[in-house]
Structure 1
């Protein structure tokens, strides 16, 4: 019982359509009878890593059953297939001696066959490295399921795999000492007095004549101001400043000084 190159199962019209797309199809092995076997996941991963035409085991069958109709056979795995460690073990290892114990898969498997009389299936391989040639490897005459033979070693194998799968990659570890690096403190540097930068200036409400003098001094330097600029220059509450500005200024609603405030004509004294 040997392993072959990467194969694909085609049934019905799909096989005919896909094979017609290939330029060259080798039909020399079309009359070869092959078995289509479904294997467990841990065996499929090992079979993928084997080289082509490498021995994977031996089949044991009863001659009496062969004459009546082959229903099941015994598959004994080869030592090369058993030598590879099980990679389908979930998370990290288990503790103590089980952590050092290698997961050895069962050596014997039972293949149970089913009839494929009403279905035509073929197996072909693709060589994509050199000539891009498609080759028919044979016609499926038997379809079966592979399951491990029940034994004590198989139960231990499943128990160890379940324990390894339950282990997380980042287990919780109890510390025996305190960590001072991330120890919480009551006062951080950002909450100390004076560390947040300069405090905002408190806006004191002045009398109207004082505020008007401040505005007139500002308009001696520039002709147009926004309300935000006037608030920044006078440091007065916004609602109080608007009330005074409306008494001595006009609001421009047209370009080029749109949304800006200007002194009323009776207060203007611009030098020509």
Structure 2
């Protein structure tokens, strides 16, 4: 238990430590053209240039020469030329910042739960500006970049024949399932004669006085619109409780009351 606790505390201590050995040294802020920054990002892990400080006032930015590229590896830039060629053509104007207010300190907040300070400030003492060269090759590269940016991502292309994305089927699975259900339950779309449908409606109402349209459709096996058309002539649709949204026969078509009285003659007495 002692070894594990000591190792865990050692790990926490290492994670919480912040290397502040070079805090007294000045930080260089390098401002480069966009195409040059993209070249540097594409050549991540490679040596794209060196900053040599000959004295406090004399600092030079040295790019990779074409001979050094063979050892590091040639990576294509935006317009197809090597990164070393673009770097060698860039003009570098290094100057010492005279006014300290020209470059403001950059503050980074630390939101992690560590014992390190929550804010770190870096003050830039020098500014390095890499300006693009005023040459025909640079202007051609910028024109190619502008043309490439104007090319639409999605373009219409004319083809000679239609593209078939799926194989056609004579019978789909949904249609086969529907046909099977119709054979088992019965074809509801086939209308019967009006007299036959009315007889089946009267037979249903002899068993129950009130029906919903869906229940009556299941019993008679007729289209819902056709069944509603017949019910409007011989039945009443209740819109109030206790039999709301249910159908019952009109008084002139009701026969279940007289039938019940005939079966029970004592009821008339």
TM-score by length of 1: 0.50
CA RMSD of aligned residues (A): 5.3
Q: 2:92 aligns with which of 107, 110, 119?
A: 110
- Partner in structure 2 of residue 11 of structure 1: none
SS at match of 1:110: strand
- 1:254 maps onto 2:242 in alignment: yes
Normalized per residue, the structure richer in helix is 2
| Alpha-carbon distance between aligned partners in 2 of 1:123 and 1:144, rounded to the nearest angstrom | 20
Tell me which residue corresponds to 2:17.
24
Q: Which residue of 2 aligns with 1:33?
A: 26
TM-superposed CA distance for 1:203, in Å, is 7.0
1:78 aligned partner: 64
Query: In the superposition, relative to structure 1, how do residues 245 and 109 fare at CA in structure 2: closer, same or farther (>3 Å)?
Result: same
- Greater shift after overlay, 197-206 or 108-117? 197-206
Provide, for residues 19-55 of structure 1, a one-character-per-residue CA deviation record: whole Å limited to 9, x for no partner.
xxx9434433233233211222333344344449x46
Instruction: Provide Cα deviations, 1:51-103, integer angstroms capped at 9, x if missing partner.
Output: 49x46146699x9xx6xxx8xx87442134893222x56xxxxxxxxxxx536
SS in 1 for 2:23: coil
Are the aligned partners of 2:52 and 2:62 in contact in 1 as well (CA < 8 Å)? yes
TM-score, with length taken from structure 2 = 0.51
Task: List runs of 5+ in structure 1 lacking aligned partners.
Answer: 1-21, 90-100, 127-131, 183-188
What's the secondary structure of 2:246's corresponding residue? coil
C-alpha distance in structure 2 between counterparts of 1:28 and 1:250, whole Å: 90
Q: 1:160 to 1:231 in 2, by over 3 A?
A: closer
How many Å separate the matches in 2 of 1:75 and 1:180? 56
> Equivalent residue for 1:7?
none
**Larger RCO of the pair (alpha carbons < 8 Å, separation 6+):** 1
Q: Mind listing any 5+ residue stretches in structure 2 that lack a counterpart?
A: 1-14, 111-115, 180-186, 265-269
**Aligned counterparts of 2:153 and 2:124: Cα–Cα separation in 1:** 43
Partner of 2:267: none
Aligned length: 210
Q: Residues 110 and 149 of structure 1 are in contact (CA less than 8 Å); yes or no, is this contact kept in structure 2?
A: no
Shift of 1:138: 7.4
